[in-house]
Each structure stands twice: as structure tokens, then as C-alpha cells.
Amino acid sequence: MLIECVPNFSEGARPDVIKAIVAKVRSESGVRILDLQSDASHNRSVLTLAGDPDSLARGVLALVSACLGAIDLRTHRGEHPRLGAVDVIPFIPLEGATIKDCIDLARRSGEAIAKTHGIPVFLYEDAASAPHRRGLEDIRRGQFEGLAAKLKDPLWAPDFGPSEPHPSFGAVVVGARMPLIAFNVNLNTDDVEVAKKIARGIRNSTGGFRFVKAMGLLVEIGGRRVAQVSMNMTDFTKTPLFRVVETIRNEAARHGVSIAGSEIVGLVPAQALLDSAEHYLQLTGFSSAQVLESRLRAE
Amino acid sequence: MLIECVPNFSEGARPDVIKAIVAKVRSESGVRILDLQSDASHNRSVLTLAGDPDSLARGVLALVSACLGAIDLRTHRGEHPRLGAVDVIPFIPLEGATIKDCIDLARRSGEAIAKTHGIPVFLYEDAASAPHRRGLEDIRRGQFEGLAAKLKDPLWAPDFGPSEPHPSFGAVVVGARMPLIAFNVNLNTDDVEVAKKIARGIRNSTGGFRFVKAMGLLVEIGGRRVAQVSMNMTDFTKTPLFRVVETIRNEAARHGVSIAGSEIVGLVPAQALLDSAEHYLQLTGFSSAQVLESRLRAE
């Protein structure tokens, strides 16, 4: 079972400190480190890890321990909002893992962090303990500076750990979510209004698909102005790419416009594309165990 | 670099002998053994291996050595045509490998088998040294019993090794080919003539796509008779699934028929489905390095 974990920690300006933190995660857990992005003005780093649940549980404990020794939120400044020295730890299901596995891992890791280090822990997104605690922006509102007051509000009691901030660390938000897919569809028009209308039709916030965030933009591609529907697909297992593309195709045609092309920005789980192939080829009774590479990895 | 190898050897009736042969391949090469199918009336087994080129080269040498000790073609009887104790060894490119890598491996393995054991080796399919030697059925015509005479014909001189059969082993055919995909499309009709017409239109032998073998059949699915276009896709990188499906869809519509569904029998390389998704979603600038699982394996 493979799970991805993308912890954000509150150091983006001191390369030596960042290096030491990542080295500790690597040496104490054996997780694979896929990516590290640091931003000095945000004063924040984003680490991408992958591994089995046990390795990841060790990895995030090592990360918390390293950041506890190296980061003091009382003197931390940066443009990005933050609540703790390790700010947020999302677990994301990859091959052979479900969102349930990630929720379990989030709870288990959150409890271990609270017990080991006396740090308040909030659970968020699919691991949240109440609907008003799902959104990261809601949990983080008030930031480190407002944390002591927030923790006294019964609505914001921590899921694990003490009801007061750790003096230097603050608190940490741990959770589970589906992988995000950044997906853009370009239209054969430079009329941004068409892209905006389509975006309103397909996104959750204005009545569209549950797991789509979308906006209409005018972008420049190879010197040409192109109207683009720019999307975040937040759960491709429930709102699949193919259904959204078909809807965009239909809505665009109503304006006399066609799809010029689409693009995936960054990484995409293989299953999201396999689902589209299965739909398009009208495959019946197909199992992902038939994919040769899955069979190889299952050995 | 991952390559698949599907050697066929001429023992399908003695379980202990088969077990010992497979054990020797495993212990001497470290290749992964994905599958073993034995057929007593064919008196033949099909082994599916995967690994890097060096492990597979060791694996096929171990297989030849084990079969040399355990199988005597002079007394071998079975329904399936065969030329040697190990009859045919195809190498097939998987992740990160090309057909060129498999041709190189076929030549290298063939040479090693000839040198080590004095066995005549024919190269076939994409590794063939001349057009008339591509087809396995042409190389195998005459079988073990006709091999001594065949090897004297200059057209059928071996690519490696002596110009006479190994007394007990015979000869072996080594080559490289693309993965096969067994792909069936079911039509919303019980008129098999429609499936036959479509099959004639899309298969290479009657003017269709280069890497398609197809026939029209009447099959029974859930108690209903269904006309089916049954295909072998012999190189999905050059004749992709999506193009064949679109063609079937168009040809079927001309007869007032639609596609009811399709099925993949057995395994399929992920890339064949990713290509279909890319086509359908109109992805531009997409790289398979963006598939999260590939990224994980590349680490």
C-alpha cells in the first residue's frame, strides 16, 4: 500500500536548516522523498514523501521532532499563513490505498505527535471530526498569533493534545484528502467570456460538479490569446476527467467553439487517465489488475 | 529498464520436472516470475518473466541449461509444434525499454546460448536477420524432426551456433516483439456479417491497419448472441487502440449498429490505455513522466 504525504513546514529561508530537517526525516523513516520546494518570502517548505503507512508515521514524527528543535514560531515571519512549525500534514492515497487508510493514518499520526511532544493537533479535510473543521483555511484563521484564544473556544478544541499552543511550535493540522489534479482545457476562441461561462457551469461553487474548482482565464500560448477553463479536480474518482471534458465540449459547442487541447499541470495518478481510457474505449469488466505494470508491482 | 520475456519450453506433463526447471531459473537469475502455464496435451509450458536485461540474459541461459538436462526432443510428443527443448524466447519491451533494447538482448542471449551449449539459434520477428525469417511459423515449419535437413538449406542457416541440431535439444528461436493486446469490441447486433465486414476493413491482411489481426465472431454474452470484432493488436504504439475503436464505431454506424462495449483479455501495458486517454482528453504536451506512479518508480 502506497500513500503520499505532503507536509508543509515553516522554514524556507535557511538552506542548512532545511537540509538538516529533510536528512532527519530520511534517516529515521526510510520514506522516499520525491520533492522539496522552499520559498524564502513565504518562509515555508513543501516536502513530498511516499511510502507505506508505518514509514510515513515515522517520517512525520521525525519531521515534527526536527522542526521542534529548529523553528520558533514566536520569531517566525513569512507571507504565507501558518499555525505551527510543521503547519499541515495531508495524507493522500496512491496505489492500493484508500481515503480510509489515509484517515486512519492521519488519526494515528496526529495522536502520536500530541502524545510525544505535547503539541495540539487538528484533524482536517476527510479526517475532520466535524463539518466546520474540514477546511484548512478555517482552522488556520487567526494564525499562530491567535492560536491561544482560538483553542479556548469549544468549537476549536484540538482533536489531540493540550488546549494551549506549544510555546515555540504552535499547533499542527493533520488530515487526509484525495490527490489534486490541475487540469486546463483550452478553447478555440480568444473570448474569455465563453471560458468564464463554462467555468461557472462546471464548478461546484456555482452549481456544477461536486469535485471541480474552475475559473475562466485568457492565457497566451505560442503568441496567441486563448480562452482557458482552468480547473482543480479535487476527487477524480467521483468527478472523473472524462465527464468534465464532455460537458465542456457540449457547452463550448453551444457558443460555436471547440476544444483546442487540454493540459495536465504537474503530476496525475495513473488511475485518472485509465478511467478516461476505459470510458472512451467502452471497456466492460475491466480491472486495473489487468494493467501489466500493476501486476509487476504486485509481485 | 524493464523487459518481459515469455519463453515456451517443451514439457507440460511432468509437474516435478517443470517445478525444478522454474526453480533453477529463479535461483540463478533473480528475475521475477509472473506466470507459468503448463498444458499436458501440448506437452509445453509458457513462462512469463520480467527483469532488467542482465537478469533476463542469466534467466534464459539458466532455462536452456535446465531444459537441456531434463528434456529429450527425440522422445518428446505433444500436440503443439516445436523445434527445441526450449522452443521460443521472445523479449518484449515494458517500462523504459524500447524494441531496440529487446533486439539487442535477443542477439546477446542467442549468441550466449549457442556458445555455451552448442545449440543452433534462429532470430525471429523484430530481431530477424532477413525478412523471410521473421515469422515463427516459417522457422518452425518441419519441426524438430525436419530440423537437420532444414539447417542444410542456406536460407535457413542458424544465426548463431552449429548447422546441425543439438541431438537432444534441437534448436531455439529467440526474438523481440511488441506486447500483444487481445482486444474485443462487441456490437449491438446479432448479425455476425456486420462484425466480419468490419474485421475485414480494419485488419492488415485485407487492407486495414498494419498492426491489427481481426475476425468477426458470434459470441454469447449473458445468454444473448452478440456479434464481436475479435482482435490482436500487435503494436499499440503504431496502431493505437483509439484509432481502431473510432474506425469500428464509424463502420458499425454505416450498418445502423453501435458499439455495445469492449473488452481486454489478459494483460495490457499501461501506455496503451494512457495513449487512449491522451487522445480522448485532447492532452497536449503531456509526458508519461507526469504519471505519479512512474515518478515514484523512477526514484
| pLDDT value for A1 | 87
Nearest chain B residue to A240 by CA: give it: B281
Catalytic-labelled residue, pool A76, A80, A166, A255: A80
pLDDT per position as a tens digit, B96-143? 899 999 999 999 999 999 999 999 999 999 999 999 999 999 999 999
| Interface residue A217 vs chain B (CB under 8 A) | no
Query: Which of A34, A273, A276, A299 is the best substitution to test chain B (most B C-beta atoms within 10 A)?
Result: A273
Look up A279 and say whether it is catalytic: no
pTM of the full predicted structure?
0.77
| Interface residue A299 vs chain B (CB under 8 A) | yes
- The three-class DSSP label of residue A56 is helix
DSSP-derived letter for residue A103 is: H
pLDDT per position as a tens digit, B195-216? 999 999 999 999 999 999 999 9
pLDDT per position as a tens digit, B3-27? 999 999 999 999 999 999 999 999 9
Which residues of B, range 246-285, sit inside 8 Å of A by Cβ?
Answer: 259-264, 266-270, 273-285
Of all residues in chain A, the percent with pLDDT exceeding 90 is: 88
DSSP-derived letter for residue B6 is: -
| Interface residue B34 vs chain A (CB under 8 A) | yes
Which residues of B, range 129-188, sit inside 8 Å of A by Cβ?
Answer: 179, 186
C-alpha cell at A295: 501486476
Nearest-CA neighbor of B73 among B177, B146, B145, B6? Answer: B145
For the complex shown, is ipTM > 0.95?
Answer: no
The residue count of chain B comes to 299
Distance between B23 CA and the closest CA of chain A, angstroms: 16
How many residue pairs bridge chain A and chain B with CB atoms within 8 Å of each other? 139
Mean pLDDT, residues B154-175: 98
| Interface residue B296 vs chain A (CB under 8 A) | yes
DSSP-derived letter for residue A95 is: T
| Interface residue B17 vs chain A (CB under 8 A) | no
Give the model's confidence band at B35: pLDDT under 50 very low, under 70 low, under 90 confident, else very high. Answer: confident
Indicate whether B37 pLDDT > 80.
yes
Are A269 and B292 an interchain contact pair (Cβ–Cβ within 8 Å)? yes
Residue where the block lists cell 463539518: A131
| pLDDT value for B299 | 55
Q: Which portions of chain A are predicted below pLDDT 70? A: 298-299
CB atoms within 10 A of CB B281: 25
Mean pLDDT, residues B174-188: 95
- What backbone torsions phi and psi does residue B116 show, to the nearest 5 degrees? -70, -40
| pLDDT value for B298 | 65
| Interface residue B50 vs chain A (CB under 8 A) | yes
Distance between B185 CA and the closest CA of chain A, angstroms: 9
| pLDDT value for B267 | 86
